[in-house]
């Protein structure tokens, strides 16, 4: 039996690829202007930078939004023949790039490709009047890529080529602070292969594992392994479907995304009750939690600082591990295909991912899946 805590396991990761955190997340979307409005209005992201025809970029438009340390890039193609058009045609709106902030983008490329990574972007140096950014990239699961971004000699708003985006419409923030983890869904029998890829190519360590005995409902099941870099700033859980009586939520994702990809982005807050209340008032839709979940909550998780009535009112979930507890809630998919969604998480010591909530959560997801006729 494995008795190391999550924190102790992280310390065993290899250090050939030092990562300072998530640099940005880029989504390919059908209409970046409208998507940017949604992320500002509903989630409280702030306008940061823009690239497009007005800044000399002819084929695409990209809007960069920021809240806390989270940067989202929303990119849309302006012509049908552009490769991004093919990506959106196949996958719908979704995450293309999970970009990582590194001190040496050339070395990150060399270290990972020499260990078997497939190149997505050859290392290059981009310059403008604010300095220079070095950038490179590799493919991970599906068509998803990791960029390595080195920005220590750059003072501009985002990257060379982007101009500051000043807007007259600036809804307030909702308390989102940083990316906690990003989850990938992979196909049948692909989880262990993907885990080994993160170990061998990125030097990550597997800090937690859940099998289909632990994550199942009456109908469907999945398996999950959480990969982390050494300092724990970057965590990528990997999910694979498992056999159940009916179609697993991971299979539904794979069917509608038409391949492997990012399932959810978890963003941290210091006050989940305040954040979720605000997000709901702005129209963000969350999965419903059954009333029965709260009947036995305090026996299951022990003493917590939060008012249980408020958690119940908002549908926030709680879970405890040997390092503390966490509070979390999941949005419904944020586009029409049942693919990408967000998680809001507040950690109070816990380093895990809410395994104790999986059953309640998946039963809720299955109710939504059944409404779509996909269960």
Q: Which residues bind Fe ion (CB under 5 A)?
A: 266, 343
- For residues 112 and 197, what is the distance between their CA atoms, to the nearest angstrom? 10
Contact 304, 325 (CB under 8 A): yes
CB of 92 to Fe ion, least distance (A): 21
CB of 238 to Fe ion, least distance (A): 12
Q: 192 φ, ψ to 5°?
A: -65, -35
Residue among 99 and 361 whose Cβ is closer to Fe ion: 361
- For residues 314 and 327, what is the distance between their CA atoms, to the nearest angstrom? 12
Residue among 143 and 343 whose Cβ is closer to Fe ion: 343
- What contacts 135, CB < 8 A, 6 or more positions away? 105, 121, 123, 124, 126, 147, 148, 149, 150, 159
CB of 180 to Fe ion, least distance (A): 8
Please provide the size of the chain in residues: 375
Helix (H) or strand (E) holding 360: helix 358-371
CB of 107 to Fe ion, least distance (A): 30
Q: Where are the beta strands (DSSP E) in 7-116?
A: 21-28, 46-51, 60-67, 70-77, 94-101
CB of 358 to Fe ion, least distance (A): 10
CB of 316 to Fe ion, least distance (A): 14
Residue among 182 and 273 whose Cβ is closer to Fe ion: 182
DSSP 89-153: HHH-SEEEEEEEE-S-HHHHHHHHHTTTPPEEEEEEEEEETTEEEEEEEEE-STT-EEEEEE-TT
Residue among 111 and 343 whose Cβ is closer to Fe ion: 343
Residue among 267 and 311 whose Cβ is closer to Fe ion: 267
CB of 210 to Fe ion, least distance (A): 12
CB of 263 to Fe ion, least distance (A): 9
Nearest to 6, CA basis, from 231, 310, 244, 329: 231
How many of the other CB atoms lie within 10 Å of CB of 237?
Answer: 22
Residue among 112 and 217 whose Cβ is closer to Fe ion: 217
Residue among 319 and 343 whose Cβ is closer to Fe ion: 343
CB of 343 to Fe ion, least distance (A): 4
Distances in whole angstroms, Cα of residue 10 to Cα of each of 142, 226, 271: 26, 11, 26
Residue among 45 and 341 whose Cβ is closer to Fe ion: 341
Using the structure block, give the residue that is written with the tokens 């008012």: 307
From the DSSP assignment, how many helices (H) and strands (E) are in the chain?
A: 10, 17
Burial class (CB within 10 angstroms; exposed 0-12, middle 13-18, buried 19+) of 166: exposed
Residue among 266 and 268 whose Cβ is closer to Fe ion: 266
CB of 61 to Fe ion, least distance (A): 30
Strands 176-185 and 235-242: parallel
Residue among 217 and 328 whose Cβ is closer to Fe ion: 328
- For residues 220 and 247, what is the distance between their CA atoms, to the nearest angstrom? 6
């Amino acid at each position: 039996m494995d008795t190391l805590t999550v924190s102790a396991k992280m310390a065993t990761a290899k250090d050939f690829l030092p990562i300072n955190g998530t640099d940005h997340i880029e989504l390919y979307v059908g209409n970046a202007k409208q998507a940017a409005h949604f992320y500002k209005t509903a989630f409280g992201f702030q306008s940061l930078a823009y690239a497009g025809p007005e800044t000399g970029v002819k084929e695409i438009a990209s809007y960069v939004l920021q809240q806390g340390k989270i940067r989202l890039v929303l990119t849309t193609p302006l012509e049908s023949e552009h490769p991004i058009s093919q990506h959106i045609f196949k996958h719908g709106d979704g995450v293309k790039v999970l970009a990582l902030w590194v001190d040496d983008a050339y070395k990150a490329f060399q270290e990972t490709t020499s260990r078997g990574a497939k190149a997505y972007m050859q290392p290059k140096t981009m310059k403008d009047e604010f300095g220079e950014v070095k950038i490179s990239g590799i493919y991970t699961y599906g068509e998803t890529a990791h960029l390595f971004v080195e920005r220590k000699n750059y003072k501009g708003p985002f990257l060379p080529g982007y101009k500051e985006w000043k807007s007259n419409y600036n809804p307030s923030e909702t308390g989102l602070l940083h990316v906690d983890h990003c989850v990938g869904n992979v196909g049948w029998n692909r989880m262990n292969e993907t885990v080994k890829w993160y170990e061998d190519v990125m030097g990550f360590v597997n800090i937690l594992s859940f099998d289909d005995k632990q994550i199942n409902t009456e109908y469907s099941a999945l398996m999950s392994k959480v990969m982390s870099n050494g300092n724990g700033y970057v965590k990528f859980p990997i999910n694979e479907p498992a056999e159940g009586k009916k179609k697993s939520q991971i299979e539904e994702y794979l069917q509608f995304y038409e391949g492997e990809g990012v399932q959810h982005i978890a963003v941290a807050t210091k006050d989940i009750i305040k954040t979720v209340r605000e997000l709901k008032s702005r129209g963000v839709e969350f999965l419903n939690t059954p009333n029965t979940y709260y009947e036995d909550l305090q026996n299951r998780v022990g003493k917590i600082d939060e008012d249980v009535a408020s958690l119940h009112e908002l549908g926030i979930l709680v879970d405890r591990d040997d390092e503390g507890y966490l509070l979390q809630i999941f949005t419904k998919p944020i586009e029409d295909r049942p693919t990408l969604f967000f998680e809001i998480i507040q950690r109070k010591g816990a380093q895990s991912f809410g395994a104790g909530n999986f059953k309640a959560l998946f039963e809720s997801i299955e109710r939504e899946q059944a409404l779509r006729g996909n269960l």
